[in-house]
Amino acid sequence: MSEIIVAELKPVGEFGSKAWCEACAAYGVKLLEEGELPRDIAWGFSEIYTHPPARLLSDDRKLSGYYIMVKDGVISGGDGASVECRALPGFHVELQWAAICNQSGSKYGREGQRQRSLEEQEMYKAIEEYVGRSNPLEFKPRERAVWPPEIGAALGKGSEEGGGLHNIAAALQAPSPEFAEFPTTELGVPVFGSMSEAQKQTFLKMLAVKT
């Protein structure tokens, strides 16, 4: 039984901030340490958030993101995106900060994840129609994710009851002011089609989408 009580967690920083990334990585490591992982497993998780607000970066921090990895029996993680981690089979993404920031602060289980994905696809489709071209966020094809069952069980433990790494990360996330006036779904996904013209232009700029 995990000792992590998600309901008692408090926000430590905005999505993609150093404090938040460090905390997410630390809790991810703890969840994996509590799991029953094969000693020979080699697996990595990394998320890089491109085009974040300047306040989240500094001279000493050029990249927003975090990683978790299991290699040679050692579980580690931290702020940034370890090259060693990203070379391992696992789950690795690189996408615009604004594309997932706000909705990442919502807690949910399997059904909520499915609903979030549907709403995000609707957002991307609306942006495509607005700018008049496909894939305006320039998503690159990525390798198929690798989720060993022991890893998935450890990081997702109790997710239907409010636990698991996603819900921990959501609990640790403080709101970002950019989304305060945007129309969003109940899960926090921006509703592009309901935005004013000025809001659409602001959001596209946040996404680094050329119009």
Q: What is the DSSP string of 118-165?
A: HHHHHHHHHHHHHHTSS-TT-PPP-PPP---HHHHHHHTTTGGGT-HH
The helix/strand/coil state of 137 is coil
Establish if 177 belongs to a structural domain.
yes
Q: Is the pLDDT of residue 3 over 80?
A: no
Note whether residue 40 is domain-resident.
yes
Amino acid 204 reads L
Q: What is the pLDDT of residue 2?
A: 60
Answer yes or no: is pLDDT of 1 > 60.
no
Residue 196 in any domain: the answer is yes
pLDDT 10s digits, 60-85:
999 999 999 999 999 999 999 999 99
pLDDT attached to residue 61: 97
Rounded CA separation 211/194 (Å): 18
Tell whether 67 is covered by a domain.
Answer: yes
- In a domain? residue 211: no
Token output for 199: 């809001």
Does 1 reside within a domain? Answer: no
Number of domains in the chain: 1
Tell me how long the chain is.
211
Q: Over 90: is that where the pLDDT of 144 sits?
A: no
Where residue 177 falls among pLDDT bands split at 50, 70, 90?
very high
> For residue 147, which of 68, 91, 92, 72 has the smallest C-alpha distance?
91
Choose among 194, 204, 75: nearest CA to 137: 204
Average pLDDT score over residue span 99-116: 97
How large is the angle between the packed helices 197-206 and 110-131, nearest 10 degrees?
110
Query: Is the pLDDT assigned to residue 140 strictly greater than 80?
Result: yes
Q: Is residue 99 part of a domain?
A: yes
Query: Is 146 inside a domain boundary?
Result: yes
Domain enclosing residue 12, as ranges: 6-206
